[in-house]
Structure 1
């Protein structure tokens, strides 16, 4: 039954029979037959079908919840049994909001030192995407904002508080200043992340609290695109302090303190709220706890 539940989870992820089959490494007829066999076993219709995938029935949505638990438990069992004999090995999948990507080496480098047989994949995703991917077992852990918007039924480990700085070129806007107030940024040539990014929503809220209606002249979902524009000397951006210091450390860019009342959201590690925890994930939680306790983040 596990393989059929895997088919169902893949369909929930891809919302398309062909792509779900590709994800599972089977043909589309094999996937469709597997899901129909599952429906026959359970005696209910799970998927609304037409010429294409339409959605899940109410019974299908409930079975999806069970599928996540059962498949998650099966993966945990396999990992634990393997780890008892051979140590941790396998594939650890992490998704992270773009503004926190500079934190990840503090997590993954000691993790790799302790568990060299584990292969790690890191994806840059929005906070909403991260929660959806966790729910659908597409990733093992996420690094995201944990106290600004609801995070749902996940286990949360706070890592650090996010402060903000203006980043500009050495000869760019506000480069002659040591600090700037939120209210001073009304006419600034800002480039910001796109509105689907939680960082953008946080920055906009702080600007509005200072009486400024945000009107960025450029937006992108890529930090590298923002930095490339800032380097021209014609743009500036508001970024988390940790990220601003990372991208501005080469001398071409300058970071300027942003003063005045501001939100201080928390970045944390989120993992599925389930027991037993996947051994690969439990080891990552251990690294995160060390970071939080040592203040190394």
Structure 2
């Protein structure tokens, strides 16, 4: 039954029988047969079929909720028994918003010192994708904004507050200022994150509240690309202070606080709310709380 539920979750995620089979490491006929057997066992149709996958039935949507819960619990049980035999080991999958990537070594470094048999994979995603991956059991934890948009049923650990600065080249307009206002920043040639990023929605909102409109002449989902354009001297950007400082600024780049208002937004670790957690997620939450206490004391 567990294997069939895992196949069903993969199909719901991929929305394609062939890709779901590839994800599960089985042939398409094997996956299709398993889904039909699951439907027979439960006595309901789960999938709307045609020449291709057309979605889940209402019963399929409800079974998907149960499947995620059951498969999650089964994985937790397996990991707990493995940890009891061999100690903490395994792989942790994390998705993080681009502005949080620079702080992740503060979490993964100390964690791996304590648990050297644990490995990590980290991907950059927008805030909505982080939550979707978490819900679909495709990641173990996410790092995202905690306050601005609904998170759903998750456990969260606040890590730090984003505070926004104008990042501009020396000799450019406002580069000698001690601070700048949101309204003033709106008049500059800006490069910003793309509109699907919550950071961009936050910036748009604060500019609008100041009577300005965000009209960037360049957009990207990469903070490194934005910074490389600031280095040319033709663009300025708005970045959280923590990630801006992580680039190790050369002398010809200025980091200027944005005020009127001076705003901050909370970023933290999120994990699917369940008891018990897998040993890996439980240890990661513990490490996040240690990091949060350290950041708060700075």
**TM-score under structure 2 normalisation?**
0.96
The aligned counterpart of 1:192 is 192
Provide the C-alpha distance between the structure 2 equivalents of 1:173 and 1:33, rounded to a whole number of angstroms: 65
Q: Deviations over 1:120-176 (max 9, x none)?
A: 000100100011111110000000001011111111111111110011223444322
The answer to whether the 8 A contact 1:166-1:237 is kept is yes
The aligned counterpart of 1:97 is 97
Provide the C-alpha distance between the structure 2 equivalents of 1:153 and 1:40, rounded to a whole number of angstroms: 31
The aligned counterpart of 1:183 is 183
- SS, match of residue 104 in structure 2: helix
The aligned counterpart of 2:206 is 206
- Per the TM alignment, residue 110 of structure 1 is displaced from its structure 2 partner at its CA by 0.7
The answer to whether the 8 A contact 1:173-1:233 is kept is no
Q: What pairs up with 1:1-297 in 2 under 5 angstroms?
A: 1-295=1-295
Q: Structure 1 residues 233 and 162 mapped into 2: Cα distance closer, same or farther (>3 Å)?
A: same
Q: Structure 1 residues 64 and 160 mapped into 2: Cα distance closer, same or farther (>3 Å)?
A: same
The answer to whether the 8 A contact 1:248-1:254 is kept is no
Provide the C-alpha distance between the structure 2 equivalents of 1:179 and 1:288, rounded to a whole number of angstroms: 32
Structure 1 gaps of 5+ residues are none
The answer to whether the 8 A contact 1:173-1:235 is kept is no
**TM-score under structure 1 normalisation?**
0.97
Aligned length: 297
Provide the C-alpha distance between the structure 1 equivalents of 2:258 and 2:278, rounded to a whole number of angstroms: 41
What CA RMSD, in Å, does the superposition of the two structures yield over aligned residues? 1.3
Provide the C-alpha distance between the structure 1 equivalents of 2:39 and 2:276, rounded to a whole number of angstroms: 28
